Amino acid sequence: MAKQNIAPTKSNLLAIKEQLAVSTNGYELLEEKREILVRELMHLVEQVKKLEEEIDKVIQQAYPAFKRMLLMDGADQIERISHAIHYDFEMEERVVTIGGMQFETIDVQLPEKELFYSFLGTYANTDETIVKFFELLTLLAQMASIRTIVWRLAEEVKRTQRRVNALDKMIIPQAKETKTYIESVLEERERENIFVLKALKKKGL
C-alpha cells in the first residue's frame, strides 16, 4: 500500500493521526451497521421463505379448485361470474425503519371479501375457488411488499460493505503507512539535530 504523498512535517503528522482516528472510528461504526443490516436481511429472507411456502400451498389448492369449478360450472358460467366480480384495491407507500435506516415499500390493501354472484347456478366449489384466489392474492401482495424491502436493504448492505472494504483495505492502511513514514523521518531528523548539537558542544560553540 503506497503512502500518501505529503511532506513529513509535525503538522502533517498531527493531521494524519486525526485522519487515522476518524477512519478507524468510522470503520467500527460501519462494521457495526453492516452486521445489524445483515441480521435484519437474514430475518426478512426467512419471512420470504415462509411466504413462498404458504403461496405454494395455496396454489396447490387454488388451481385444482379452479379445475373442479370449470368442470362443474362450465366455461360460460365462469365467464359470467368473472364479469360480476368487481373490487378495488389501494396501494400506498410505507416507510419502514430497519437498523436506524428508513426504507420505502408499498402496501396493498385488498377489499373485504363479498358475494359477487348469485347462488343460483353455482356450487360450493365456486365459493372455495374464489376464497382461495383471494387468499393467494393477499399473500402475493404481502410478498411484493416484503421483497421491496429486502431488495433495498440488500443494496444498502452492498454499499456499506464497499465502504467498509475501502476503509479496511485502502484508507486505514495508507494512513498507517504514512504515519509510520512521517514518524521515522522526524525521528531521523531529531537524531541528526542531537548529533549536530553534540558536535557543536564539543567544539565549544
DSSP E strands in 51-125: the ranges are 90-98, 101-109
pLDDT for the residue numbered 93: 80
Instruction: Give the pairing of strands 90-98 and 101-109.
Output: antiparallel
Q: Residue 161's CB: how many other CB atoms inside 10 A?
A: 15
Residues 6 or more apart whose CB falls under 8 angstroms from that of 146 comprise: 44, 47, 48, 51, 105
Q: Which three cell numbers stand for residue 66?
A: 379452479
pLDDT given at position 29: 93
| Helix (H), strand (E) at residue 118 | none
CA–CA distance, 20 with 173 (Å, rounded to integer): 9
DSSP classification of residue 112:
P
| Range in 25-34, 72-81, 144-153 with the lowest mean pLDDT | 72-81
* 153 vs 138, residue with greater confidence: 153
Average pLDDT over residues 54-77: 85
Per-range mean pLDDT, top range of 48-62, 111-125, 183-197: 48-62
> Which of 1-15, 18-32, 83-97 is predicted least confidently?
83-97
Lowest-confidence segment of 65-79, 104-118, 166-180 by average pLDDT:
104-118
What percent of the chain has pLDDT above 90?
39
Grid coordinates representing 173? 492502511
Residue 62, H or E segment: helix 10-73
DSSP 113: P
Instruction: Please tell me the pTM assigned to this model.
Output: 0.71
CB atoms near residue 81 (< 10 Å): 19
